Amino acid sequence: SQTIHQWPATLVQPVGSPLSLECTVEGTSNPNLYWYRQAAGRGLQLLFYSVGIGQISSEVPQNLSASRPQDRQFILSSKKLLLSDSGFYLCASHLGGLRNTEAFFGQGTRLTVV
Amino acid sequence: AQSVTQLDSHVSVSEGTPVLLRCNYSSSYSPSLFWYVQHPNKGLQLLLKYTSAATLVKGINGFEAEFKKSETSFHLTKPSAHMSDAAEYFCVVCPTSNYGGATNKLIFGTGTLLAVQP
């Protein structure tokens, strides 16, 4: 099965500072990769997904961006954080198409923007 | 458009009583469906999945769910709740394309917070 490594686990950043969250996947190749945000008391909001290297789809307009420099690496970034960027961020990996399986999740990053 | 609706944001049960967490979906074709559990400040753990095989799916920790196409539902049940079941539960749909493979999106419900009273 797949293992998703996500770091850091917690992060406190001042408003206006940059952000870089990294996610790497073990145990598979060519997965679909996802970034979700979970705000307090809400479900998971899909931010970005990627079906391959350099291919990024954005679900919502926002202050964040994503990149996939390698097959099993997915990075979430921001140039200038806003207070509203606070939340719990989850990276997920999923084999789509005819290989359809369940999604595997990282342990999440708790981001607090102060 | 594909979507998933969890009908209850909060469910409270007594220990030892049955659990029912409701989920309805909307999808053009028969989707894959999943239930995940999330304990506080943790990642998500798969409870069970439906991927067009048996409609009654058994998962971990005594949970099961039944896929009912006529009702577009995939409700999660457990005969007897345990204190350790207190967590947030997410129903997830992965729509299938017209060639039968999964699409590239995982769509989450808004979650149901399950409280178990002693």
**DSSP codes of every residue in A33-69:** EEEEEE-TTS-EEEEEEEEETTEEEESS-SS-EEEEE
Residue A61 confidence class, pLDDT cut points 50, 70, 90? low
Contact B109 A43 (CB under 8 A): yes
The Cα A78–Cα A20 span in angstroms is 7
Condensed to tens digits (0 to 9), the pLDDT of residues B90-104 reads: 999 887 665 555 566
Fold category of B1-8+28-99 in CATH: Immunoglobulin-like (2.60.40)
Domain membership of residue A23 as a residue range: 3-113
The Cα B84–Cα B87 span in angstroms is 8
Q: Which residues of chain B have pLDDT under 70?
A: 1, 28-29, 96-104
Contact B102 A100 (CB under 8 A): yes
**pLDDT for res A62:** 79
Q: Is B112 on the interface with A (CB under 8 A)?
A: no
The CATH code of the domain that includes A106 is: 2.60.40.10
Of A4, A44, A96, the CB nearest to B104: A96
Please list the residues that pair with B50 across neighbouring strands: B33
Cα–Cα nearest to A30, from A6, A66, A54 = A54
Q: Is B14 helix (H, G, I), strand (E, B) or coil?
A: strand
**pLDDT for res B76:** 98
Provide the domain count of chain A.
1
